[in-house]
Structure 1
Amino acid sequence: MKLIGITMGDPAGVGPEIILKALDEKKNLREKSVVFGSYKVLNYYKALLKTDTSIKVINNLNEFEKEVINVINVIDLNIDEFKIGEMSALCGDAAYRYIEKAIEAAQKGEIKAVATAPLNKEALHLGGHNFAGHTEIFATLTDTKKYAMMLTNEDFRVIHVCTHVSLREACDRAKKERVLDVINLANDTLKKMGVKSPRIAVAGLNPHAGENGLFGREEIEEIIPAVNEAAELGINVEGPIAPDTVFLKAYRGQYDVVVAMYHDQGHIPMKMLAFDTGVNMTVGLPIVRTSVDHGTAFDIAGKGIAKGESMIEALKVAELF
């Protein structure tokens, strides 16, 4: 049985807590998962949360035991080396090293997927790793050129043409080639998840999807040609559809996924509908990557009140592949 690797995320955030809560609660997921992180940090949270499951450091996956939480001790980080709830170069670097080690294991075929706890982008940069986030780290370390961020839960999915750029730059990135690539990525990913003939909706960039050029020409010049070409390839796709209605249509079951043009266009409806259960995926990679759909939550880190539901859902989605 291939295991799912879980990266611990920023040690100063809620990552260690939500991992322990998820694996302590769900024995079936614990028996299929290994954590890439820091043993001493996890052990601190075990005492804080008073969880029952033992934590064991393993040097390789041959030492894996189903009855415990297994940890690859990537960095032997002490809890007194940083302050919980505050960003630091130390924690930013540690978060990156956990990911790096998990990707290495996945590329070797030692684990079948990677589920990531949240990192802090500013801390990541302070630690010397100039990436916009998980998506870009995974793409770079796997040498992937065509990839996208997808958010998913049981009832709703969104995939993004672009994510961590300014809104001004996002408008410039809504090009035919990229839109077509994301439609193809959505189609391929949903088929791998068991959807036989995915119904794909493409959101417009502008209000009313441009209103035939009155509010912008991106739909006419870039998005419609991409949709038409995808349809010619046999993909079940419609659009561009006005962004103020397309997500409601998808939520009501008319579509399996919406292609959003930029970060907030896709993230806002997902986080309103499924903040605690949404899952973030990087699609197009040679390995499977899922993640919780929330950040490090420094404001509540260390208080024992973070919820483990999104990590549970991220592990469930990783199991599908």
Structure 2
Amino acid sequence: MATIRDVAAAASVSTASVSHFINGTKALTPATAERIQQAIDDLNFVPNRLVRTLRGGRHSTVGFVVPDMSNPFFSELASVIEDALQPFGYLVVLCDTKGDVQREHDYLRRLAEMRVAGVIGDFSGRTDVDLSALSAVGTSVVLLGATAGEAISSVNVDATEAGILAAEHLCSLGHSQVAFLSAPGGERITDARWRALLEVFDRNLGGENRVVHLKAAGRRAADHATLVDSLLALTPRPTAVVGANDYLALTVLHSLLRRGVDVPNDMSVMGFDDIPAAALSYVALTTVRAPAEDMGRTAVEMLLRAIRREIPHPEHAELPSQLIVRDSTTAPGQVN
């Protein structure tokens, strides 16, 4: 059975370099990393990570905690994070809380018990107890969607700014009767987008606006589609719909089209995140982009610095939102 010394000899590097590669504790040059990986493959070397953990170390594993993996935005984010961590030898463990606070708590507790090297996540129901448990075992944490005031490293796309961009776009088109649609999961970001939307319409239109918030019973596409019944029953009928995310907005858009509602001439529809399907929809979706790739890579860079103890204090990054205007929004009653 091959040993770490055999790998080092085959790759013409020190055993320390092999250890750093396996455990992700130090960045190596691409050429060195490639030689080590080739030697591992050639020798069929399997590191005993359990032994390392029992000796007081930790798994070269990172937990990724999300509120809703059925949302393509989080799928894209997971792919970015996994790709960014893979060269450093980290295995990513996905934890989908499905919007359940107790499930989130259980995942964070189990990740602490596993002594994972780090956790990246959008924690809607996190508590100080959960974060203290991770800190107590030396696990580094990067929060997604947190405010810059948090005492833990964070990467944030300002949900309030995103809500303002959406509201100002619809106001500029002349909409005053708007429905905001949401589903369970990611409540902190959803609430910030909703409050910003409402504030802009109140400021610009005062008592003239009629902005309502409809909530789906569940996270499935079928739950989203049932919102359309409630939406079309409203009096007066909204001239624009804003989904709390693109996944929800696209489901509603297609449901409206199937019922004979012309999008955008009868009703404008927009969302948030700019998932790939937004541009490919039969009616391309207007949205507010959250830069998933930048978000994921920034979070990984922060996490690696924290794991290596290269930073004395938490880091915070705030990434910009961007309005992407496509075919699904227009002035109310306007025919192209």
Normalising by structure 2, we get a TM-score of 0.27
| Greater Rg by CA | 2
Structure with the largest fraction of helix = 2
Bigger relative CO (Cα 8 Å, ≥ 6 apart):
1
TM-score by length of 1: 0.28
